[in-house]
Amino acid sequence: EKAAKAAAASAGRKAPKWARRGVAEFCGRASNRAVGTLKARALVIGINAYVRDPLQNAVNDAEDVAARLEEIGFDVDLLTDNTQEEAGKVTRKDILARRRHFETSVDENTVAVFAFMGHGVEHGGKQYFLPSEMVDDPAELDDDGIDQKYTLDRIQSKKPLVTIAFL
């Protein structure tokens, strides 16, 4: 709540009502189907260390988003270059494993946030997230990239109360 107010104040505007009241109250008012215990879950991914075209701020952005979400009550799974045993390398396998784990924590009483800070590409009408080892050949995207629509569809298949995606 304080972080949301501070962020909004620094941006010259008032924090949204849901941020001032907290996630639980917002979600309780957002739907009549919330029956069990309300859960707020987030998967936040940030990759700077690309083999080609490294980024400067994706990990910092991911860490900031994760911290703000935790401040307002989210259980956050953060995956960045800095959280890997093999520092500087977030592989496709890492992303898929975390996504599968995240999916198992989402149900109809969940506010789900998925955030990806890193490189992405569009090819053949499909959008992909890219792991640290960027894909050189567009024909390899289905095997080596992470399909954005499929990822979001998998989360939505769990029928969360609310889904928010930062891409």
The amino acid at residue 8 is A
Per the CB < 8 A criterion, the answer to whether 133 and 51 are in contact is yes
Mean pLDDT is lowest, of 1-15, 27-41, 57-71, for: 1-15
Residue 135, both tokens: 């894909």
Distance CA 138, CA 69 (A): 34
pLDDT digits over 84-134, tens only? 766 668 989 999 999 999 999 999 999 999 999 999 999 989 999 999 887
The SS3 of residue 41 is: strand
> Cα separation of 67 and 8, whole Å?
15
Rounded mean pLDDT of 62-87? 89
Contacts of residues 148-156 at CB distance under 8 Å and 24 or more positions apart, as own/partner, are 148/120, 151/99, 151/114, 152/114, 154/99, 154/103, 155/102, 155/103, 155/106, 155/112, 155/114
Banded model confidence at residue 8, pLDDT cuts 50, 70, 90:
very low
CB atoms within 10 A of CB 109: 17
pTM for the structure as a whole:
0.78
